[in-house]
Amino acid sequence: MNTQRTSSTKRGFTLMELMVAMAITTIIVTVLVSITSIALDTWNRSRSELRASRQAKSMIDTMARDFEALVTRRGNTNEWLSVVTDSPVGKLESTNASKLIFFTAATDRYNGELAGKDQIAGNSDDPAGGDVSCVAYGLEYKDPIGSTGSGFETFVLNRLLVNPDETFNKLLGKTDLVAELPKCTVKLDDPANFVCENIYQFTITFHVQVSQTSTSTPPVTTLVNVPVKLGKTNAGQTVNSFKIKGTGIESGYAGGTVTLDELKGGRITAMEVSATVISDFGVDQLKRRTFSGTQQAEFLAKNSYQYTKLVQIPSM
Q: What are phi and psi for residue 256, nearest 5 degrees?
A: 80, -160
- The answer to whether 91 and 141 have CB atoms below 8 angstroms apart is yes
What distance in Å separates the CA atoms of residue 63 and residue 58, rounded to the nearest whole number?
9
Decide if 263 contacts 207 (C-beta within 8 A): no
* Predicted pLDDT at 127: 45
Domain range for 124 is 45-312
> CA angle, 197 as apex, 191 and 202 as ends, to 5°?
115
- Domain assignment of residue 145, yes or no: yes
Residue 115 lies in a domain: yes
Number of structural domains, the chain?
A: 1
Residue 10 lies in a domain: no
Q: Please give the average pLDDT of every successive group of 10 residues along the chain, which has 316 residues.
A: 55 82 92 87 77 86 92 92 77 78 89 60 52 91 72 86 91 92 90 89 90 80 87 68 92 77 89 90 84 84 89 80
Helices (H), the chain: 15-68, 117-121, 164-170, 177-180, 260-264, 280-288, 295-303
177 domain-assigned: yes
Distance CA 181, CA 83 (A): 13
**Which 8-state DSSP code applies to residue 191?**
G
- Give the pLDDT confidence score for residue 37 in this predicted structure: 84
Rg over CA atoms, the chain:
30
Evaluate whether residue 2 is within a structural domain: no
Name 102's bridge partners.
81, 135
Q: Under 8 Å CB-to-CB from 123, ≥6 apart: which residues?
A: none
**Domain membership flag for residue 95:** yes
Whether residue 25 lies inside any domain: the answer is no
Q: Is 30 domain-assigned?
A: no
Closest CA to 81 of 236, 234, 244, 233: 244
Yes or no: say if 164 and 119 are a contact pair by the CB < 8 Å rule.
Answer: no
Q: What is the predicted pLDDT for the residue at 248?
A: 92
Task: Give the pTM.
Answer: 0.78
